[in-house]
Each structure stands twice: as structure tokens, then as C-alpha cells.
Structure 1
């Protein structure tokens, strides 16, 4: 049932995804032809279907076993899945879509290691990813746990941006490492998962009654899954707003760390301008959209931080 629901939603959303890809090609953001795009979409759909099937089976099992209290063991499962995903995705899922190479010995690697030493951050490994096969956009990120921990730099960033701006990006990612943001994210998940799933249980029960699924004389069947899925979607939207608020603060803190480490506000300011151009991003999105969906400070806010830091020097 979970797999069927995932496939149905995927098919419904496919035309919208195709329109979005076409638009990305038109504005010069996507470098993929339709064949490569469909191949990626197929891979993603397969992975999502597997996860949905496993999640649906597990969810139904918990509902049947614990009835109205299914949210409690489900919270433990969600946190466990979050930990497993952070550990496994860099070495199992990500390589399905991209090729990752350790940053080779050279000036950039030396600069990265020097920054990490000055920051007192355990950088793990530093990888270059072949993002240019899909996009002209630029990004960098940290992920992984334990021996899979890493900083990943887009090849577009390494190839097209000057060293001082690359160092600003690396220093930002080191800020995430220094502040233990991955572990803070897991702690946040451990806090919100029980509350969110409890609300989802209450919503699913109400939706189920309206749908005629309130027969308590027998165990819930697969027909209960759509009610649970809808309730989870509604709760996730609300939780996403709170998570985005926290994310914006975390990203602003990493920006401040980058400025303190590099002492180069000019590079930070120019970096943010160029990122907005390469990623075809709105530098100052509508306030409501930023509140609901913004995971990072706006480009203008990030430039403003750099300018403010420069004035205080």
C-alpha cells in the first residue's frame, strides 16, 4: 500500500517536475537532457518506492500492534532512521546519482586543511562532486557520521570561483562541523518527532472516523495508511516551518563563523552575489515565502552581514 501510494503521488507530480526541469533548462540552470533527467527521476522513484513500501509496512505493523499509541514507537524509528540515513546516504545513496572524488593534493586541499586546523574542526574527508553534469548551480554541504563524515564541494564551485570565495564556502561548512550542527539536527529530530507523530495520530484518527475507518472491533488494515499519510503531510508542513526557522539561524551562525575564520568580508559579499546569479536565486524573496520555505537567510541578509562585519573591523 505504501509503495502504491508513492507511485501514485510520483505519477501525479511527474508533469510538474517535467515543467520545472524545462524551466531550469530555459534559464540555463540545468545541463541535463531529457534522457538523463528521466534516468534520474526513475532512480529517485525506485528509491522512494522502496522506502515507502518499508515505511508503510512498518507503520501498519505499529498501528496494528499499538493502536492509538503507535506514535511512540514510531518516534523511536524515525530518530533511528535519521541516524542511519546520515551514516549511510553518503556511501550508499549519493553515489547512485553522482561521482565523488577525494580532493587531490594541491593548493586547494592544503588551504582547506589549513582552515580546518585554524578552526579546530574535524573536517573528515573533503570531496569534489560532479554536479556540473546536472546543473550550473553552485553549492557545498556537510553530511555523514563517523567515518562517513565529509565536506562536499561542487565542481562548479572549485572550477569557476576564485580561491578566496571557495575558502569562504569551506569556512562556512567548517562552521557547521565546529558547531556540531549535524548532531544538533538529530537532537531537534528527537524533540519534534514524538510531538509531531502524536499530532499525526490524532489527525489520522479524526480523518479515519470521517472515512469510516473507526471500526475498533478489528485491527486496522491497509486502508488506514492514506489517513496516516495525509495527517503526516499536514503535520510535516507545520514542522517544516519551525525547522526552516532553526535552519536559517544555523546558517547565519555558520556565515558568522566563516567571517571570523577568514577575516575576508569582501570575499563573502562577492560570493553571495555570485551564488545568487549561478543558482538563479531571488536575492530578496517575498517575506511570507521566506518565512514558510526559506532554509537559509536571503542573499541580501547574507550580504548585509558581511557589510556589517566589515564596518566593525
Structure 2
């Protein structure tokens, strides 16, 4: 029976991959509507023929990898669960120590290492494709360094989460999901607080903006937006990518305004100020806190659903998978599988909310800078640097895009009537 489940799961994954390939490469329509051709929205007005071809090819491949990677992860969790691999990891951990914390660390290490190895081919494929299209500028050794940092940061975070989670499952068998939700709130806030000053510097060097005149202008904008920032930081992303970006992250005293050096090198001052105004719009409209509230609400629903589904699933199949009970660490792949599926299912909703917030931030940037030209040119530059599709397929938009499409963003600015 287990072999049948495994065979069916693999066949289903392959059929899904074929269907997504056909959709993205043959059926999806990414052309700009006839009424918008020749306008600022039309990529033919700011990309040459080769760039147009590359943006379509690269976007299709990148989108296909996205739709393949998530169910590939589900397949991994399902197979190690039904073949008893997870139970074997737990048995190794139990034989190593009598202390729960140490057993948890050992089990999670083997699971994380196996996941890293299994997911590595897709990650490496994504890296090589990005290199071939000259989006990534990173060396293989630099990329591997980041992957290893990812591994240990994820492992450390997961160790804390899983150790506490399974303690709660043992302590509160029927209401563990509620206790976990209660502890998740302060933990999420703590992670947001330390992200800019502890985690981000592990990957890149951050230093005060060298262009002091530009920094003064950005800080003046920040002061108008009541953002508690004394410095603007730049980060050396040119060693990794040709893409452009800027952001404001962190909360409270750890809030940071950050510009990628690629953005500083390739955009005009007016375009940079427009992008920074957009990022400040998120702060002004309290999008971070609204997002946190939504995350907290969805997490409560998600944990409750996960608890119910795990309970039923393991009651029916646990013995076949050598998972004795829900509080066994070997049940973790079931937890990760269910939560991943739920997150994916919720992504159209969360992305829709995010797109609304991004649109609001665009409006704030237009009103603050009163510079439509800079806004249009900055989005055109972002499209060109990232080889992005201006009008992506519908499924790509709802499952991948936390921002409005470039067609929507440029069209909005182009048609926006400035205050006189």
C-alpha cells in the first residue's frame, strides 16, 4: 500500500509539472492589451528586442520553478513520512540521549540535512539559470556560503520552534495549537526586531550611505513620515545580483532604511527618492502592523486546522508510518506538509492584501514626490533589471505576486492626476 501511495504521489507531481509547463509556455497570455500598446506600460517602448525575448523566457522558467518547488517539498515530506525515514531519524535521536532537548536537536538536524540535500538540485538549477540570464552575479562559492548560512539560521530558528511546539503537544494534547499560537506572537515580534541587526548582516555588509547629500534628502522625507531613522544604509548587493531594490524593515528602534548599491548605481536621484517614498508609505499606513495582525489571525486558523488534520491523519495511518503518536518528533513532516499546503492555499488571499498595500504605497509615493516621470522610469528600470514580465499570467499573479503587476503600477502612475 505504501508503494502505491508513493507511486501515485510521484505521478501526480509529474502530471502537475507537465500541466504547469503547458500553461506557462503555451496557453498563458502575457501580451499587453491592444489599448495600451505604445504607452509607457508597453515593454516594447523601454526594452529592446533581445531584452523582450529574455524577459519572457526567464520569467516563464522562473515561474515554472516556483510551481515545481513547492509541491516538490510536499512530496519530500510525504515520502519520508510514509517510508518511515522520519521514524528512523527519531530512533537515532532517542538512542543518542535521554534529554528531550538534545533528541530534538539531533532529529531536526537529520531532517534538515536530508531536506537540504533533496532540495539542492532545484536551488542549484535556479542559481545557474539566474547566472545564465545575468541576473545573478554571484560566484558558486558565494552562493554556497549563503545557502549554508540559510541552513544554520533556519536550523536554529526551527530548533527553538519545534522544541517548544512538541513540548506543548505533550503538555496540552488537545489545546496545544492555542498555546503555540499564544507564544508565536511575541516570538514573531522578536524576530522582526532582530532581523535588521542580527540576521541580515550575516549575508551582506551594511554601511551608512556614502552619498550624504542623498541621505539628507531621504532622512528629510523620513522625518515627514515620522520614521525614527538617523541613518540610511546601503548594502553591497552588486556582488550577488543585477536586480534593484530598497526597503524599510524592522520595528521600533531597530527600523532601518536600506538601499541596494545596484539601485544607487543605476537609478537617478529622483527615481531613488520615489522608491524610498513608496517604502515609507508602508510605514505611514501601518502596513507592518496590519500585516502582523493578519498573520496572527491566519496563524490561529492555520494551527487549528493543522491540529485537526494531523490528529485524523495520524490516527488512520500513524502505525503504518511508524509514528506512534502526535507528540512523537517523527510526526514533524506531517506538520510541515500540512502547514505548507495551507500556506500555499492561503497565498492568493495574502497576496491580494499585499498587492492592495503596495498600491497604496505607490499612491503615497506619487503624492509625496509629485513626480510621475520618476515613478514610471523607476518601475521600467526595475522591470529591465529583473527581466520581469509586465503582464504575467493570472495564476502567477495570484500565487506569486505580492506587488501589483508592472502593467498595473505603471498604468496607475501614468493616469494619476497630480494635486494642483
TM-score range, shorter chain: over 0.9
Tell me whether 1:278 sits opposite 2:373 in the alignment. no
Question: Counterpart in 2 of 1:155?
Answer: 261
Aligned to 2:249: 143
| Match in the other structure for 2:361 | 254
Q: Does 1:221 align with 2:328?
A: yes
Residue deviations 1:145-196 (CA, integer Å, cap 9, x gap): 1211111111111121101100100100110111122122211122111111
**Are 1:128 and 1:154, in contact at CA under 8 Å, matched by a contact in 2?**
yes
Deviation at 1:297, TM superposition (A): 0.5
Are residues 1:198 and 2:304 paired?
yes
1:308 matched to 2:415: yes
Q: 1:121 to 1:42 in 2, by over 3 A?
A: closer
| Higher mean C-alpha deviation, range 2-11 or range 276-285 | 2-11
Instruction: Summarize the Cα distance change of 1:143–1:120 in structure 2 as closer, same or farther, 3 Å threshold.
Output: closer
Q: Choose between structure 1 and 2 for higher RCO, CA contacts under 8 A separated by at least 6 residues.
A: 2
TM-aligned CA deviation for residue 311 of structure 1: 7.7
The alpha-carbon distance between structure 1 residues 218 and 256, as it changes in their structure 2 partners (threshold 3 A), is closer
Task: Say if 2:160 is the partner of 1:65.
Answer: no
Query: How many angstroms apart in 2 are the aligned matches of 1:23 and 1:259?
Result: 35
Rounded to whole Å, the distance in 2 between the matches of 1:88 and 1:50 is 14
Give the distance between the partners of 1:279 and 1:273, measured in 2 at CA. 10
Distance apart, 1:288 and its partner CA: 1.4
Pairwise mapping of residues 42-61 of structure 1 onto structure 2 (< 5 A)?
42-61=148-167
Name 1:88's counterpart in structure 2. 194
1:39 alignment partner in structure 2: 145
Contact 1:143–1:151 (8 Å) recurs in 2: yes
Partner SS for 1:260? helix
SS of the residue aligned with 1:101? strand
- Closer, same or farther: CA 156–179 of 1 in aligned 2, 3 Å: same
TM-score by length of 2: 0.71
Conserved 8 A contact 2:215-2:231: no
CA contact (8 A) 2:318 2:325 kept: no
Change (3 A) 1:71 1:311: same
Please tell me whether residue 99 in structure 1 is matched to residue 99 in structure 2: no
Partner SS, residue 28 of structure 1? coil
| Alignment check: 8 A CA contact 1:175 1:258 kept | yes
CA deviations 1:227-274 (Å, max 9, x no partner) are 222211111212333221111111110000000000011110111111
SS of aligned partner of 1:93: helix
- Contact 1:6 1:52 (C-alpha < 8 Å) held by counterparts: no
> Rg: which structure is higher?
2
Q: How does 1:101-250 map to 2 (within 5 A)?
A: 101-104=207-210, 106-123=212-229, 125-212=231-318, 220-250=327-357
Q: Which whole-Å CA distance do the structure 2 matches of 1:123 and 1:175 have between them?
A: 15
> For the residues of structure 1 that align with 2:247 and 2:218, how far apart are their CA atoms?
14
Is 1:20 matched up with 2:126? yes
List gaps (5 residues or longer) in structure 1: none
The CA RMSD over aligned residues, in Å, is: 2.1
Cα distance in 2 between the residues matched to 1:258 and 1:80: 32
- Assess if the C-alpha contact under 8 Å between 1:60 and 1:222 holds in 2: yes
Q: Quick one: distance in 2 between partners of 1:92 and 1:138?
A: 23
Matched, 1:30 2:161: no
Aligned length: 313
